Amino acid sequence: FWGKRPSSTLNVQYWNRNSRRQSEPDLQELQYDMTAGSKDKAAASFSRGQIGIFVLTYAAYVGVYFTRKPFSITKSTLKNEDVHTESELGAIDTAFLVTYAIAQFSAGSIEGILGTKAGLTTCFLATGVCAAIFGSSDSKEVRSLTWMINGLFQALFFPLIMTTLNRWFPASSRGRVLGMWTTCQQTGGFAASAFGAYVLGHADLTWQHVFLWPAYLAFVLAFICGTVFQAYPSVDPNEGSGSSSAQKPKSTLSFFQVIFLKNCLS
């Protein structure tokens, strides 16, 4: 009966009325899909500033690995050339990891004191100095001390950059952005390892160059962070998305303040 048009007048009126009722939900569903599609398209679009801060922080964190991995890359060479014994290499590696862990607990307090821009600039300068001293010093004690200090500054890069990305991107797109951004960890590790393998395999270069050349890169990144880097967007990215976040720095609790919060240890 519903497959063909009825012939009588009464059936024609009933058929038109019923078909109109069936088409109204389809029209509403189509309008909803168009509205949802426009919202998704708006959420997927990024401003020039957001793209710039993504590329800058991505490249910066790739550069971090060039002053983080030289020791692990050259460890066998340092042992074979009697620069350090196996026990000394283990002690240096352990000291780096201990200071790295300690600095992670105080990252929030340091960011509150220095700020994101000054914090990143200081970290790049400091890690560059540590890499340069390790690659140029003849003293075992000096090399060990500088690499231990390097762990303090290496631990601060990730939380400082995460704070910046959190300010620049709204909550609606932050998961997708951070998912793409974290690929810089694999990219940086691969690039630093490939660089170290090239230097160690070159007859005219020594293990010192694995530390010295990344130090120059760290100084360049420090200059870029001090001049070009913008820790805060000019426009709140959450504006109009149903949530808001102040562009001014928010007060953060240190690790020790969190411990002594009421009922924290009970």
Query: In this predicted structure, what is the pLDDT of residue 43?
Result: 47
Tens digits of pLDDT across the chain (266 residues): 444 555 555 555 555 555 555 545 554 554 544 444 444 444 458 888 899 999 999 999 999 999 999 999 999 999 999 999 999 999 999 999 999 999 988 888 888 888 899 999 999 999 999 999 999 999 999 999 999 999 999 999 999 999 999 999 998 888 999 999 999 999 999 999 999 999 999 989 999 999 999 999 999 999 999 999 998 888 777 665 544 444 444 555 665 666 667 666 65
130: left (phi over 0), alpha (psi -120 to 50) or beta: alpha
Q: At what angle do helices 171-181 and 48-64 cross, to 10 degrees?
A: 30
pTM for the whole structure: 0.74
Query: In this predicted structure, what is the pLDDT of residue 1?
Result: 41
Query: In this predicted structure, what is the pLDDT of residue 59?
Result: 96
Distance in angstroms (rounded) separating the CA atoms of residues 101 and 95: 10
Q: Are 241 and 105 in contact (CB under 8 A)?
A: no
Query: In this predicted structure, what is the pLDDT of residue 246?
Result: 42
Q: Which residue has the tokens 């953060």?
A: 252
Query: In this predicted structure, what is the pLDDT of residue 252?
Result: 59
Distance in angstroms (rounded) separating the CA atoms of residues 162 and 181: 10
Distance in angstroms (rounded) separating the CA atoms of residues 245 and 257: 23
CA nearest 88: which of 71, 102, 103, 67? 71
Query: In this predicted structure, what is the pLDDT of residue 200?
Result: 94
Q: What is the mean pLDDT of the chain?
A: 82
